[in-house]
Structure 1
Amino acid sequence: MFVGRTDELATLNDALTRAARDASLASGTAGEPQALLLGGEAGVGKTRLVEEFTTAAAHRGAVVALGGCVEIGADGLPFAPFSTALRALREALPEDFAAAATGQEEELARLLPELGEATAGRHDEQGMARLFELTVRLLERVAAARPVVLVLEDLHWADASTRHLLAYLFRTVRAGRLLVLATYRSDDIHRRHPLRPLLAELDRLRTVRRIELARFTREEVGRQIAGILAAEPDPAQVDEIFERSDGNAFFVEELAVAGCVGNCTGLTDSLRDLLLVRVEALPESAQRVARVVAEGGSTVEYRLIAAVAGLTEDDLIEALRAAVGANILTVTPAGDGYRFRHSLVREAVADDLLPGERSRLNRRYAQALEADPALVADDARVMRLASYWYHAHDAAKALPVVLDASVVARRRHAYTEQLGLLERAMELWDSVSDEVRSALRPVDCGEGCPSSGGAPAGSPLRYLDLMAEASVAGRFGGERERALKITKRALRLLEDEPDPIRAAWFWVQRSRLVQALARGDGWRELAIAQDLVRGLPPSEMHAEVLALAANWSMLHRPGPEAFAAAERAVRYAHMVGARDTELHARLTLGCLMVDSGDPETGFGELRQVLRDTLAEGVHHVAGRAYVNLPSELQSVGRDREAVPVLREGIAFARTYGLLDSEAWMWSNLSEALYSLGQWQEAAEAAGHAARVGHSAKPRGAGAVRLAHLALARGELGETGRQLATARAHYGTHDPMPQHSLLLARIAIGVAAGEGRIADVRAELRRALDTGFPPGTHRYGWPLLLAAAIAEADARTPPAARTDRAENLDRLAEAARNLTTGVPLWHAYGQWTRAELLRAEAQDSVDTWSSAVTAFERLDRPYDLARVRHRLAGALLAKGGDGERDRAAELLRLAGSVAAHLDARPLAAEVALLAQRARLPLNRVPRQALAPADPAAALGLTSREQEVLRLVAAGRTNRQIAQELFISPKTASVHVSNILGKLDVSGRGEAAALAHRLGLFPPETLAAQPTG
């Protein structure tokens, strides 16, 4: 009988209702994914509550998929609960699952081997993130048509990869009628338990609800006992059991059953003794089988039990029947094995084993599995075998299979588990003979890892090979401290046996690790690596070091040296056939070409690399190309040209799970949309960048874009918060001009907005002292402009006039030296010089007319509105009826843009100037504002035109959101705005009007895939 838990069950049912809502029903509101954590001490009733909820959910039409964590941790199959749950989901919805996984079977096979053979693929720091992204998208797609309940039990045993995937799922799932419920044993979560940081992180997510399951009250204990005994219990018995169990449901059951069979008296208060009472009451053969099952794992296959137990089949079946009848063991859902009904009993039985008995059982498991590999599932065999031989304390047998298990973990992108297994292999290394070690062979650990320091192919595995694999696994899995310690030990070993290529490789790893750990900028380590390979014959390692040094210089010290290093890297990589390295180096070279004043040649190189990488399937380099090409286009003011490349790149990055690349693209898209005057979409793009990034810096870029938007809208508090977030993500250990100049520009804007001119000057001095290296004009000009505007707006007291004059002189000098080689930076130069003249009351109509003319040639409405406002001020200062009419027109234009963008500071300045001049702003000359096309004539923004095109093509809000990379809610808002502007009552009328007016060519309305 199910007892109590009314509130908890109501919470779960409410979450299912929220998730299962169907947008096609009268409410019109689509379900939202729900995430819940269910915690409670061992035996308190978590599993029983989950069973009750999932049974009811299935009756309501939900598909339930359960997966449980395996207790043996790093020895268990990584992602075990997700693999089990996905397998159940695939069996329940084969067609939907197949459609959702189409095109990604090889990658998803890392979680679900039934989908096919997981290819070796590329291993890098984004490998796990790619798998996570594809898994979340798979779940969203499967749950699109019907509610899905995904239950993951026993998180306290979860491997690191499972914890990482669950955290990613909870953070990023945004669509689908999906409910995710994860359970954990709260009394196991001690201060250093690896689950504790995850729980703290999830607690901060507003989308995650946490349920703590309390013990039963005395009344509930009485009802539970009545259900067990099928009779009303004696009140004294209830009092005694309640006192001894303290309301723990499992202990209540144990005590009630023990009392029922006459074994209650004489029980000790020891938890283990309580748990073992019913086991010890079993026949000896059943106790023996219980001990065998306890050491075999969370679930043990029947055939494997038979091979280890050493009983005849009849005796084994009788023993199992006794254990199942006593509620000690239970049959697995698939009917092919057994597990303990409660994990507490299994722990007690396992703890009761003698050390020699435990080793002997593990040896027998290992021998049985070696004799017949078919005893367990293919995907679990190697992991189980590695665990059995290790716990059998047979190093010679354990080392090879532990290494095999590490390869399996790596193929599944379970890098943390791979690291644990490799550390176990290093522990076993000195315990085996030279003969055993000589039979082992290294594997390619990725990252250009030298398998044996230049030794011939097929050379034996060395201890340094293990260290190389472990350091890469640690970096890929986020265990950077452990990886750093391993590289330090490896370099100490290399002092005794010099190997410059291998040493250079380890120094490259240290460079990456110290940057990731905020211990430095990584240049010292790269410089040592360069010294080690200098003078050696060309090699892949040599090319890799040169390419990394060139890229580092491009980001930190752009200039001729970076250019030369990039050219050398391209040449060396081509010479030794290191294609990936060559493509990376060519990207760096193309960027440096643009930055050095040869944009067309640079763009040609970047576009060619993008074509090559797509044709050759080098996805990780293509992801970088989709970041670099539009970024360089933006650097010369070609934002509109960059937007379609970025949208194409985002779709590409989503397909291949390139999360950091996707985050950089969202950030660049936000910047482009901001420049083009599409601020709502820019804010959405920045939000995506802040969310999807796997690493800190891409998320920091999203925060910078949000800060920039907040500053333009006059939200100084929000600007300060986003600026602090960006600084935290970027850190201070690795200063790059592209980051420091952006942050300085926003800091100047905040200080100016708060009237802190001294802080403006201090921030500017720091930037000017650092200087503007080649290629940083895109960041330098906005910074100089912000400082010049702050000086022109400031009211400087007499005591600070010397400081102000010095500041203006330095600003003017920096403006003279900064490049103006493209129209955008020429326009910024005109504007900055005009502001400097305004600061000294020497600006004129001609000064501002030149700036306005420069910006009228560009596609930057906000900047144009700002300089028009300044020109209007200059015209009004000059006086005359003609000047007043022209000023009024300019102010109306500027005010219209400010209102459309919600640029409140500009709107306030325009209104104040008009008020002082007594100019009305409510009448706009038709000839000045008449749009050139019918869609704009209807008052539709460019984004609303895109949405209307898709409405006319018959797309739903969700399809529109997918195609335009916006949220369904935002798509709905756009559609509502369009209906209002067109004065129509529904989507059908809007589509008909668009067709009637010929707003869109027929070919643009053709049906297209929207996935």
Structure 2
Amino acid sequence: MLGAVETRSVSPVFVGRAGELTALTEALSRATAGEPQALLVGGEAGVGKTRLVEEFLDAARAAGAVVALGGCVELGADGLPFAPFATALRTLRRVLPAELAAAADGQEGELARLLPELGDPGGPDPSDEDATARLFELTVRLLERLAADRTLVLVLEDLHWADASTRHLLTYLLRTLHRGRVVVVATYRADDIHRRHPLRPLLAELDRMRTIRRIELARFTRAEVHRQLTGILAADPGPALAEEIFERSDGNAFFVEELAASRSCREGTGPLSDSLRDLLLVRVETLPEDAQRVARIVAEGGSTVEYGLLAATARLTEDDLIEALRAAVGANILLAVPDGDGYRFRHSLVREAVSDDLLPGERSRLNRRYAEALEADPGLVRPDERATRLATYWYHAHDPAKALPAVLDAAVATRKRHAHAERLRLLERAMELWDEAPAEVRAALRPVDYAESYPPCGCDPDTTPLSRLDLLAEAAVAARLCGERERALKIGKMALRLLDDEEEHDPLRAAWFWTEQARLQSTLGRGDGWAEIARAQELVKGLPPSAVHAVVLAGAAGWGMLRNPGPDSLAAAERAVEYARLVRAEATELNARLTLGTIMVAAGERDAGLAEMHAVRERTTALGHFHEAARAHINIVSALESLGRSAEAVALADAGIELARTRGLVDSTAWLRGNKAESLQSLGRWDEARAEAERLLASATSTKPRGSAHLRLAQIAADRGETATAARHLAEAAAVYGSRDPIPQYTLPLAATAVALAAAGGRLAEVRDRIATAAGTGFPPGTHRYGWPLVLAAATAEADARGLPAAEDGRADALAALRRCVRALATPAPVWAAHAVQVAEELARAEDRETSARWAEAVEAWTPLDRPHQLARARHRLADVLLAEGGRREEAAALLRQAHAVATALGARPLSEDTELLAARARLSLTAGDAPGAPARPGDGFGLTPRERDVLALVAAGRSNRQIAGELFISPKTASVHVSNILAKLGVSGRGEAAALAHRLHLLTTPD
């Protein structure tokens, strides 16, 4: 009807912006070559962002790119979740119907949460915390598949209005888009980004990503304003007019247009007001009365108003409405939406000015008309927008009786789309309206319709009215799922206070809230959550079986599985399974069975525990509960590693990663990568383990998987002698895991790595402190996999430090602490039995009573276990003892060659140096076939002079430079030079590290 006037800008000439346009077109070229691009275009309102994007899109279309444009919608605090992405995907579906259908094949249900036209999204799983991340991952993969054979330009406008879900999806897209011919361009109004604006932290985060380019548009210069006016007026404006408009507009392109147009509208009748609002309203006020009225109605209807909805609200005859619209569109106040039948303001500033000019009663009346029209004919707007739009209209109509159920309906709709941030805002609005709504309206609301977050608490959901506690439960879960955990914690406290104040206490509801509080306390690092779980257990004690009871017991079992998988945790898991079966809560039952199987493996029931876990994996996969299926993979992989079955663990981890990846389970993929990296490290596939950990570090969206990646990288770096790198990663891991919730699977490996680094630096006191702490806290069942490496590292440090004067003080206590640790650790699999043998012999070495027979047992224990690094270390120690005992040089040479070959292949520099130095001291060749020669002098492997060996002996004895000078009759300065040379030759950074290395490599003794 009005297609001929669908113009976004009244300036016919594109002015300036050559550099910015070049940046955009260069990004298009790079994307066409297969490198995804992302650009953020910012600037104040009216500065020309839209016009720049229009020019770029024209160039992109001319180059054969497919363009998808989506704009954020201004609907106050409610927002339409994912609005720009939905609009862009709708365009792609129209332009590339077959291609989009093929790219979305098999995932239509999930993607329908963004684009309802793809099908029915189905009901959400309240316990599926990966649901939002899965939706994000599938969206990114969809775009990558669409851009595999064509260049795709995705433009998201007006980010300053973006809802939280849109911001989160955009962040995920920009962080994880690594392939495909895609250009993402997002625009935002810079002058709207105040200090507390939610877009501000996002922009700061994106600034740290090197793959994203920011473009900030400045105002026009005098020359550029002159060129713009010449295009608008189709004639030279003359110096006076150009200068006047430049001064009044201050170079803002939109204000230039308005001033030029308003000058014509006002026909020279006096000066314009200095008020910005008056400037923006001046052309609206020149419209006919009906056109002004329609403009006011459109301003209050949202960013875009559909023609049918506008007609029902305006209550004009069709002819009068068309004439009013023609006048507003002809004056460039309104635009007809290109891909629909609605209207919007040409510029949001004008819409804001018109909306602000409405009287309070007028605004409420217009919103009521919109709401009544939409209720009478729901088909006037898109189905995915209907609930949110209706809630917004009724809320701004100030009608609590209508607004409360409408807001709750909108919250349900956002829940189905996994837009939990918007759901939280709506639920908070519902709580605001709760007391204002009539009692009969509240009584008609039912939990079965609006409260899905927690299990039934014994009431009849069909007859019991919805309560404020139900709203608080929904809001608490929504806050947790959208990452606002502090808010979730506050909501939970509010609910518990409300429960305490009620005349009839509801123990089941209270227990559910305490269980939620426990989870939040642990996640936020405020504590381990046990006090809250214990309170929940106390509340349900003695009550009949219920879904809440099962959830509480499952929570207690899960807590124990991570921190103390003993008899109490096993009993809690068994009761959780029993109760869940009684009340037919299969999701809770499967969760508890997986926990039960994990605890059984830790308790020594290996086969039965693994069978239970595999059964859960198969059942959850069959039911389509992929989040729980992925968790089953994670736990089974971890259990296999705890039993030393690392090759099986890697294979199952790969299967789990494929499941998680295809289902968009981002966090599950991260945990599986971390577990796989651990098993690869055990197998001696260190390069693969490091690559997996680095991939995890780059892709993980939550902190604990990133901590796992840092820990793995620290361990590999420590084994390779890269102490600075190891220390950096260890500090990052320690910062993630904190100290308020000491979970053994984190604290013990952290301690083991810290012990290895301290030993390498000669800091034996730190080693002993770590072991004293571990011996004091003990090793819960199932933590042997973390305890044995810690004890082995400490025992090796004590043995290497034998003979150091500083090591003798406190040695007896340190060795006693180590033996207490050994007695607390189980050996449920051959790999841990091998650890026990090696620890025993390291302790014997620390007391100068090691034997070749016991080291031969260690070599024999490690040989069949596919643990190359540990086997190589045992072979090195056996070779050392054989040489010390005299004879059997050929056998020692063979052991050293084997150990050196493994150390070289792994890149384990400390072990490689140990074998090389031992071979050099004993005049043994590390090349097969060479005959052994006479023993070498100590220190030959590092090129130390006789004088430097003397100085090193005194350094190892703890002497200062001045004391060394006195004993050797040299100056302190000369002693300092010798010490510096020794540190450089040994490749160490300090005197303690030099002393430790000297004793470890026997540099201070001469072989017999």
Match of 2:487 among 462, 476, 482: 482
Q: How far apart are the structure 2 equivalents of 1:507 and 1:544?
A: 11
In structure 2, what is the Cα distance between the partners aligned to 1:141 and 1:923? 54
Describe the shift of the 1:860–1:303 C-alpha distance in structure 2 as closer, same or farther (beyond 3 A).
same
For residue 456 of structure 1, report the CA deviation from its aligned partner: 5.2
- Give the whole-Å Cα distance in 2 for the aligned partners of 1:659 and 1:625: 15
Q: Is the 8 A contact 1:225 1:256 kept in 2?
A: yes
Q: Deviations over 1:526-564 (max 9, x none)?
A: 111111110011111111111110111121122111112
**Counterpart mapping for 1:290-329 below 5 A:** 290-329=295-334
Q: Which residue of 1 aligns with 2:986?
A: none
Structure 1's 446 and 914: CA in aligned 2 closer, same or farther, altered over 3 A?
Answer: farther
Take 1:376 and 1:207, find their aligned partners in 2: how far apart are those partners? 38
Moved more, 832-841 or 550-559: 832-841
Aligned match of 1:194: 198
CA shift for structure 1 position 75 = 2.7
Match of 1:92 in 2: 95
State the partner residue of 1:206. 210
User: Normalization by structure 2: what TM-score?
Assistant: 0.88
CA deviations over 1:930-971 (Å, ceiling 9, x no partner): xxxxxxxxxxxxxxxxxxxxxxxxxxxxxxxxxxxxxxxxxx
Amino acid at match of 1:97: L
- 1:554 corresponds in structure 2 to 561
Report the AA paired with residue 844 of structure 2.
L
Pick from 129, 132, 140 the counterpart of residue 133 of structure 2.
129
Q: Deviations over 1:854-880 (max 9, x none)?
A: 111111122222222222222333343
CA distance in 2, matches of 1:477, 1:735: 26
CA contact (8 A) 2:448 2:462 kept: no
Summarize the alignment of residues 543-942 of structure 1 with structure 2, pairs less than 5 Å apart.
543-794=550-801, 797-880=804-887, 883-923=888-928
Matched, 1:256 2:260: yes
Using the alignment, how far apart are the partners of 2:929 and 2:168 within structure 1?
56
The CA deviation at 1:138 is 1.1
Matched, 1:17 2:29: yes
Q: Residues of 2 paired with 1:447 and 1:693: CA distance?
A: 29
Structure 2 stretches lacking a partner, 5+ long: 1-12, 931-1008
Closer, same or farther: CA 536–408 of 1 in aligned 2, 3 Å: same
Specify whether residues 376 and 558 from structure 1 end up closer, same or farther in structure 2 by C-alpha distance, changes over 3 A only: same
What's 2:460 paired with? 455
Contact 1:673 1:682 in 2 (8 A): yes
In the TM superposition, residue 684 of structure 1 has moved relative to its aligned partner by 2.2
Are the counterparts in 2 of residues 100 and 138 from structure 1 also a CA contact under 8 Å? yes
The CA deviation string for residues 25-45 of structure 1, in whole angstroms up to 9 with x for no partner, is xxxxxx222222111111111
Which residue matches 2:404? Answer: 399
Q: CA deviation at 1:260?
A: 4.5
After superposition, residues 327-406 of structure 1 pair within 5 angstroms as 327-406=332-411
Q: Is the 8 A contact 1:453 1:499 kept in 2?
A: no
Q: Please name the residue that 1:993 is paired with.
A: none
Asked if the contact 1:41/1:186 (under 8 Å) is kept, the reply is yes
**CA–CA separation in structure 1 for the residues paired with 2:478 and 2:514:** 16
Q: TM-score, normalised by structure 1?
A: 0.88
User: Following TM superposition, by how much is the alpha carbon of 1:128 offset from its aligned partner in structure 2, in angstroms?
Assistant: 1.1
Partner residue of 2:991?
A: none
Question: Which amino acid in 2 is paired with 1:16?
Answer: L
Match of 1:228 among 225, 228, 232: 232
Q: CA 1:862–1:14 in 2, change beyond 3 Å: closer, same or farther?
A: farther
The aligned counterpart of 1:120 is: 123
Q: 1:49 aligns with which of 41, 52, 56?
A: 52
Count of residues paired in the alignment:
914
Letter in 1 for 2:216: E
For 2:117, what is the secondary structure of its paired residue? helix
* 1: CA distance, partners of 2:161 / 2:616: 45
Q: Any idea what the Cα deviations from partners look like across 1:879-908, whole Å, max 9, x if unmatched? A: 43xx33333332332222222222222223
Residue pair 1:631, 1:642 contacting (<8 A) in 2 also: yes
Pick from 6, 11, 18 the counterpart of residue 6 of structure 1. Answer: 18
Structure 2 CA distance for partners of 1:798 and 1:424, relative to 1, 3 Å: same
Offset of residue 565 of structure 1: 1.5
Kept in 2, the 8 Å contact 1:784–1:815? The answer is: yes
Contact 1:446 1:472 survives alignment (8 Å)? no
CA distance 1:717–1:799, change in 2 (3 Å) = closer
> What CA distance in whole angstroms lies between the structure 1 residues aligned with 2:791 and 2:231?
78
Aligned to 2:249: 245
In the TM superposition, residue 87 of structure 1 has moved relative to its aligned partner by 1.0
Contact 2:801–2:807 under 8 Å retained in 1: no
Q: Which of 159, 162, 178 is the matching residue for 1:155?
A: 159
Alpha-carbon separation, structure 1, partners of 2:205 and 2:527: 27
The answer to whether the Cα contact below 8 Å between 1:697 and 1:730 also exists between their aligned partners in 2 is yes
CA contact (8 A) 2:476 2:491 kept: yes
**Alignment correspondent of 1:964:** none
Alignment of 1:171-190 (within 5 A): 171-190=175-194
**Deviations 1:559-612, CA, capped at 9 Å, x for gaps:** 111112222222222222221222222212212221112212221222222122
- C-alpha change, 1:274 and 1:835, in structure 2 (3 Å) is same
Matched, 1:142 2:154: no
Structure 2 counterpart of 1:83: 86
Give the Å deviation of 1:351. 0.6
Question: Contact 2:455 / 2:547 at 8 angstroms: preserved in 1?
Answer: no
Q: Counterpart amino acid of 2:470?
A: D
Once the two structures are TM-superposed, the CA of residue 243 in structure 1 deviates from its matched residue by 2.2
For residues 685 and 350 of structure 1, the distance between their equivalents in structure 2, rounded to whole angstroms, comes to 54
Structure 1's unaligned 5+ residue stretches are 22-30, 926-1011
Work out the CA distance in 2 between the residues paired with 1:236 and 1:729. Answer: 64
2:982 matched residue in structure 1: none
Distance verdict in 2 for CA 1:887–1:177, change over 3 Å: farther
What secondary structure, in the 3-state scheme, does the structure 2 residue paired with 1:644 have? helix
- Structure 2 CA distance, aligned partners of 1:697 and 1:400? 39
What is the CA–CA distance in structure 1 between the aligned matches of 2:28 and 2:687, rounded to whole Å?
32
Partner of 2:523: 516
In structure 1, what is the Cα distance between the partners aligned to 2:576 and 2:457? 23
Are 2:443 and 1:438 aligned? Answer: yes
- Which has the higher mean CA deviation after the structures are superposed, 579-588 or 774-783? 579-588
Q: Structure 1 residues 485, 813: CA separation in 2 closer, same or farther (over 3 Å shift)?
A: closer
The offset of 1:923, in angstroms, is 4.6
Structure-2 residue corresponding to 1:424: 429
Q: Deviations over 1:55-102 (max 9, x none)?
A: 111211211111110111443321101101111112222222111111
C-alpha distance in 2 between matches for 1:100 and 1:468 = 37
Decide which moves more: 739-748 or 846-855.
Answer: 846-855
C-alpha deviation, 1:403, in angstroms:
0.8
Residue deviations 1:684-725, cap 9 Å, x none? Answer: 221233344443222222221122122222222222222222
State the distance in 1 between where 2:40 and 2:403 align.
Answer: 37
Equivalent residue number for residue 1002 of structure 1:
none
1:143-176 CA distances to partner (integer Å, 9 max, x unpaired)? 1121111111111101111111111111122222
Give the Cα separation in 1 of the matches to 2:929 and 2:82: 63
CA contact under 8 A between 1:451 and 1:465: conserved in structure 2?
A: no
Q: Distance in 1 between matches of 2:724 and 2:24?
A: 38
**Does the aligned pair in 2 maintain the 1:362–1:391 contact within 8 Å?**
yes
Say which SS state the counterpart of residue 75 (structure 1) adopts.
coil
Shift in alpha-carbon separation, 1:731–1:440, aligned structure 2, 3 A: same
Q: What letter is aligned with 2:45? A: A
Please, which moves more after superposition, 334-343 or 906-915? 906-915
Using the TM superposition, give the Cα deviation of residue 799 of structure 1 relative to its aligned residue in structure 2, in angstroms.
4.9
